[in-house]
Amino acid sequence: MTKMPDNDTFVFEQPCPIRDVLDRIGDQWSLLIMETLAPGTLRFNALMREIGDISKQMLSRTLKQLEQDGFITRTLYPEVPLRVEYALTDLGHSFLEPMQQLITWAETHHRTIVIARERYQST
């Protein structure tokens, strides 16, 4: 991204906020999970059912990432059987706002892109 200064002291510093955020939403599931949580709190298996084609593995991993970055909260109720609820934080909600702009753009221009691709094929 931006040219880094030749200073290995800060190898673990994230120099580029955009990359850092894009890595998160660019992955397979993060955005979808956040959108799914947008209406309200959900439990682990409820999330799995809502999303439909995600594995336990990926749901678990992605949720942990999102929690770690402060996009969602994880609340454990030590009942029997266990209950764990996931919810968007304010940060998570605020993220979905600019994201919604992009989603709208995607929906609006998707056809144009698909057509461009087909045209390119036939060249």
From 5, 17, 81, 98, residue interacting with DNA (rule: CB under 7 A): 81
Beta strands in 1-123 (DSSP E): 42-43, 72-77, 83-88
**CB-based burial label for 30 (10 Å; 0-12, 13-18, 19+):** buried
Closest CA to 85 of 34, 31, 37: 37
Q: What would the two tokens of residue 90 be?
A: 């304010």
Q: What would the two tokens of residue 92 be?
A: 């998570």
- From residue 32 to residue 61, what is the string marking binding to a copy of itself with x (rule CB under 8 A)? x-------------------xx--------
- From residue 62 to residue 101, what is the string marking binding to a copy of itself with x (rule CB under 8 A)? -----xxxx--------------------x--xx-xxx-x
Smallest gap from Cβ 3 to a copy of itself, in A, equals: 6
Q: Which stretch binds DNA (CB under 7 A): 14-22, 41-49, 91-99, 108-116?
A: 41-49
Smallest gap from Cβ 86 to a copy of itself, in A, equals: 15
